[in-house]
Structure 1
Amino acid sequence: MYKNLEDYPDVLNVSDVQELLGIGRKQAYELVHSGEFHAIKVGKRIKVSKHVLINWIEGGNRYEKAN
């Protein structure tokens, strides 16, 4: 079932990213690990700011991981 963007929390998990983009689970994990946008790991969980994801979708600056 589709939700409005406003229905999602400000901090998304991988299943939220998957649902928002209409992609598979494997693709969602590959995307959050790709370095295309900022994602954090909290324990074993991966979290993404909704604002960061929307900015990336709209063509915002590509995130560069610090080495």
Structure 2
Amino acid sequence: MFTEYDDVITLSDMMEILAIGRNKAYDLLRSGQIKSFKIGKAYRIPKSCIEEYILARVK
């Protein structure tokens, strides 16, 4: 899934994958719905965490 992206993605990549805006992206990260870590001031998101988030919402 998402083979064109690196294993650790940026906030912009996450926004593109999920087709969401910046505010929603920050909400998901701050609430812990999508796990991430920060390097300096920039969020980095393991691609596997995006996949987990998506799969958890499948009915």
**What TM-score results when the alignment is normalised by the length of structure 1?**
0.75
* Gap regions ≥5 residues in structure 1: 61-67
Equivalent residues, number: 57
Q: Structure with the greater relative contact order (CA < 8 A, sep ≥ 6): 1 or 2? A: 2
Higher percent of residues as helix: 2
**What TM-score results when the alignment is normalised by the length of structure 2?**
0.84
RMSD, aligned CA: 1.7
* Percent sequence identity over aligned pairs: 35
Instruction: Provide the secondary structure at the position in 1 that maps to 2:14.
Output: helix
* Gap regions ≥5 residues in structure 2: none
